[in-house]
Amino acid sequence: MRRPRFEARVSFRVLAVVLLLLAAVSTALPLASPAGAAAKGKLVLAWHAGFASRWLDPQEHDGTATPDNFFTALHDALIKNQGTELYDHLALAERFTVAADSRSATFTLRKGIRFHNGEPVTPQDVKFSYESYRGAKADVFKKKTERVEIVDDRTVRFQFKEPFLDFAILFGTANVAGPGWVVPEKYYKQVGADGFKQKPIGAGPYKLVRHEPGVKVEMEAFDGYYRPVHVKQLVMTAVPEAATRVVMLERGEADIVYNVPGELIGKVSKLPGVTLAPVLSGSFFIEFPGFQDPKNPFRDKRVREAVSLAIDRRAMNQAETAGHGRVTGNWINPDVQYAIEWPEFERNVDKAKQLLREAGYPNGFDVDWVTPLPTFYSRGERIIAQLREVGIRGRLQTMERGIFFQRLQGGLKEFPGTQIILHGVRIAGSWSFWYEGYFKCGGFNSRDRICVKDLDAKFDQYERSVSPTERKKLAEEIQRGILENHYLVPVFRHAFVNAIGPRVVAQKWQDVFPTVTTGYAYPWEDLKVKDQ
Amino acid sequence: MSRFILRRVLYSLVTLFILSATIFVIVRLTGDPLALMAEASARPEDLDRIRHQWGLDRSWPVQYATFMQNAFKGELGKSFNYRLPVSELYFQRLPNSLTLGIAATLISLLIGVPAGIISAVKVNTWWDYVAKGVALLGLSIPGFWLGLVLILVFSVWLRWLPTSGAGDWRHVVMPALALGWYFAASMLRLTRSSMLEVLGSEYIKLARLKGLPDVVVIAMHAFKNALIPVFTLAGVNLVVMVNAAVIIEVIFAWPGIGRLLYEGIFQRDFPLVQGVVIMAGFMIVAINLVVDILYAFIDPRIRLTR
């Protein structure tokens, strides 16, 4: 009787030991299996411009909606924008909490996460990455942060001097700022900032194999990543000429190409096995620089409304993006915090003429220049043609991209007289970044061209407020104020048209471009290629 | 002779100095690079930080003095975009550009020189008309159009050659052809006019009077003399192709210096544009200097008249 019982006990112990071992192995090596082992094939992305090496270093995020394409492959953040999550997708952090008074935020790292060189990702790396960050909005983080505390070997806490309500959204949006992207302190210090840009080591799903500055980045699946990585080799190659990118796709030399211009959309849509991916991107809207001047016809709200009524937004969308864009009512993208939904503005030429008559312009008037964002000159021409129907006569002014932004930043003196600017903008994160950049008096791109004191006062109140409810209310009020008064006239949302080749596994284009806050194909680890 | 060489070296240095000052001012006249380096919602603090980081907050004379001081040490500054020394970037791309430039030069010589000779020898015949037609086409067909047509034919229809990038010899064929085609036309025209000039000279007439066969007259007497300006032009063309094949390198995504320059201009990367232009200028000045000295050696009248 004893022996069977002994055997049963032994069997039970063996089973328990085996289970414990399995559990230990799966905890200690959670990553050996998911990423590298299953990864196979190669995926080539044809990028639409030159590469800047600074895009490989989150420490110097330039604040534009570009570096995230590279960060999301090579690096990883505590939290980030991914899929439909605007900023709070848990990445290196297993969980995070922001204190009720917004005076601190605490992050707990996942177990067993490592950098590409095998070193563990530690709270010290998080602290270093945050404190040595010198990219976009660095001054905001520095000004508001009191200290970064390492609570234990997996927990790090950010203590703020005052309530920092925008912390999580700034911290977690890859196309706004980069202090949440963790770099290995030891390696970074060892090679220096410039060395790091040439040979970056991160904790992302792909590790660098070869970097030809400005030309090509070759990467390989990182088998230490905490999520499965499906494609073994990921190559991003810069091909500035659109026609060449399309031919690369046609020949199978590239699997994903970015930025198919309007004139090539028809051709690409007919290529066998190729899927168009018209990702909704920036918003195009009209600005009336210096409209507060009593001599400026756009001072009259009825004139601004007439412009809005004259614009044929649907025709613009059809002609410029083959209908892949979207006519929306707000000039701020809906994929940012506190952006409001607004109904599509109507087109009514008769009503526009009536409003112009009432405003004292029965025969219309002349606009000195209509200046579109380079290189969207044809959009400017369409605006001119549509405005001419109601008697507003304008001339197209084209500028080189750098000159355009320089003149924007030069303020009203660069746009004297009666002028119209057609902007195209994409800013992620919060509605407030849009306001700050393109509407606020003194803003980076708005300068002194628009100065609406009551709205700016509300915005100051918004910035000072520590109540999310009040902030939301103010954000909505301000946006309504802009739209009801036609201070800015929304036109449509541009489509950043990309194309996916037949080797990529996708039922629909959203499988490859699932992240709503970007036009790029991340998360890269989720992409799959067919067996070759 | 040594005074002549010294004078030419001095002229070269002055040329390079003027070039460096000109390009320094011109890139700055295009505007503030921060307009492209900073994000839409940047704050003044962000702009100050970037401006200070790159020394753009200092006056132009100070920036120029620093630039020249570094240039004398062989440092052309650090690229805004790539965060690498410009000289390093330049020499990284140089082998690709040399490959393309040499291949295109060979193509231009192989097409231009024989066609130019035939055109000159068979002047005012249909050979000549065809050659002149080819030259006209070569000079008037835009490089980007020819590049796209080559891609369409050889990559898309025939599937013989890869569309873009650098790799094995197959990657070089189309960009070299597209680039060499234009220069072949100029070679053809120069060879033709040079040959016509030589063929009309007294010593050629004498050779013919001596009863030498046409082949000998053309090959042994005319050809050698007519080639001097052709090869001089080929040298300068090679420098241009190496440093400024912007359109062809963009079309074919060829990782050369022309594309580096294009990206530098596009991004207002001042140090990069300055560096590439200075290097190109240096090459042209050096080649001209060598040619001048060689001419002076060959023909003493040159050093006496200057």
Chain B (79-108) residues lying within 8 Å, Cβ to Cβ, of chain A = 81-84, 89, 92
Give the tokens for residue A169. 């959204």
CA distance A34 to A223: 7
Region B193-220: mean pLDDT is 88
| Interface residue B278 vs chain A (CB under 8 A) | no
Angle between helices B270-298 and B2-29 (to 10 degrees): 160
Of the listed ranges B100-114, B177-191, B224-238, the least confidently predicted one is B224-238
CA distance A512 to A525: 11
How near does any CA of chain B get to the CA of A361, in Å?
Answer: 35
**Residue A26 Rama label (left phi>0; alpha psi -120 to 50; beta):** alpha
The per-residue pLDDT for range B67-123, each reduced to its tens digit, is 998 888 888 999 988 888 999 999 999 999 999 999 999 999 999 999 999 999 898
Chain A (133-172) residues lying within 8 Å, Cβ to Cβ, of chain B = 134, 136-140
CA distance B240 to B243: 5
The residues facing A277 across adjacent strands are A498
- Taking an 8 Å cut-off on Cβ atoms, the answer to whether A194 and B81 are in contact is no
* Alpha-carbon distance values, A510 to A130, A206, A335, B261 (Å): 33, 22, 16, 36
The residues facing A108 across adjacent strands are A95, A155
What percentage of chain B carries pLDDT values higher than 90?
50
What torsion, rounded to 10 degrees, do the Cα atoms A269, A271, A273, A275 define?
Answer: -20
pLDDT bin (cut points 50, 70, 90) of residue B229 is confident
CA distance B249 to B164: 9
CA distance B280 to A391: 53
Of the candidates A139, A406, A438, the beta carbon closest to that of B43 is on A139
Give the tokens for residue B201. 């000279």
Chain B (38-67) residues lying within 8 Å, Cβ to Cβ, of chain A = 38-43, 45-46, 49
| Interface residue A213 vs chain B (CB under 8 A) | yes
pLDDT bin (cut points 50, 70, 90) of residue B266 is confident
Overall size of chain B counted in residues: 306
Q: What is the 3-state secondary structure of A457-524? A: HHHHHHHHCCCHHHHHHHHHHHHHHHHHCCCEEEEEEEEEEEEECCCECCCCHHHCCCCCCCCCCCCH
Chain B environment of A136 (Cβ under 8 Å): 38-39, 42, 46
Chain A environment of B249 (Cβ under 8 Å): none
The residues facing A105 across adjacent strands are A98, A158
CA distance B69 to A244: 41
Pick from A408, A420, A209, A397: nearest CA to A303: A420
| Interface residue A443 vs chain B (CB under 8 A) | yes
Q: Concatenated DSSP letters for A291-339?
A: TTSTT-GGGSHHHHHHHHHH--HHHHHHHHHTT-SB--S-SS-TTSBTP
| Interface residue A331 vs chain B (CB under 8 A) | no
| Interface residue B255 vs chain A (CB under 8 A) | yes
- Burial call A70-95: b when 16+ CB within 10 Å, e when fewer: bbbbbbbbbbbbbeeebbbbbbbbbe
- Taking an 8 Å cut-off on Cβ atoms, the answer to whether B163 and A212 are in contact is no
Give the tokens for residue A223. 């088998």
- Taking an 8 Å cut-off on Cβ atoms, the answer to whether A247 and B31 are in contact is no
- Taking an 8 Å cut-off on Cβ atoms, the answer to whether B41 and A50 are in contact is no
Phi, psi of B45, deg, nearest 5: -65, -40
CA distance B171 to A430: 46
| Interface residue B189 vs chain A (CB under 8 A) | no
Chain A's closest residue to B269, CA to CA, is A52
CA distance A66 to A84: 19
What is the model's pLDDT at position A242? 92
The residues facing A504 across adjacent strands are A529
The residues facing A77 across adjacent strands are A181
| Interface residue A132 vs chain B (CB under 8 A) | no
What torsion, rounded to 10 degrees, do the Cα atoms A506, A507, A512, A518 define?
Answer: 170
Q: What is the pLDDT along chain A (532 residues), one digit of tens a residue?
A: 344 444 445 455 555 555 555 444 444 444 444 555 579 999 999 999 878 888 999 998 887 788 899 999 999 999 999 999 999 999 999 999 999 999 999 999 999 999 999 999 999 999 999 999 988 888 899 999 999 999 999 999 999 999 999 999 999 998 889 999 999 999 999 999 989 999 999 999 999 999 998 899 999 999 999 999 999 999 999 998 999 999 999 999 999 999 998 889 989 999 999 999 999 999 999 999 999 999 999 999 999 999 999 999 999 999 888 899 999 999 999 989 999 999 999 999 999 999 999 999 999 999 999 999 988 999 999 999 999 999 999 999 998 777 888 788 889 999 999 999 999 998 888 999 999 889 999 887 888 999 999 999 999 999 999 899 999 999 999 999 999 999 999 999 999 999 999 999 999 999 999 999 999 999 999 999 997 5
Q: Which residue has the higher pLDDT, B66 or B53?
A: B66
| Interface residue A54 vs chain B (CB under 8 A) | yes
Q: Could you give the domains of chain B?
A: 97-267 (1.10.3720.10)
The per-residue pLDDT for range B1-18, each reduced to its tens digit, is 788 889 989 999 999 999
Chain A's closest residue to B255, CA to CA, is A215
Of the candidates B83, B163, B164, the beta carbon closest to that of A54 is on B83
Pick from B240, B247, B246: nearest CA to B260: B246
Number of Cβ within 10 Å of residue B91's Cβ equals 12
Angle between helices B223-244 and B169-199 (to 10 degrees): 140
Q: Yes or no: say if A433 and A173 are a contact pair by the CB < 8 Å rule.
A: no
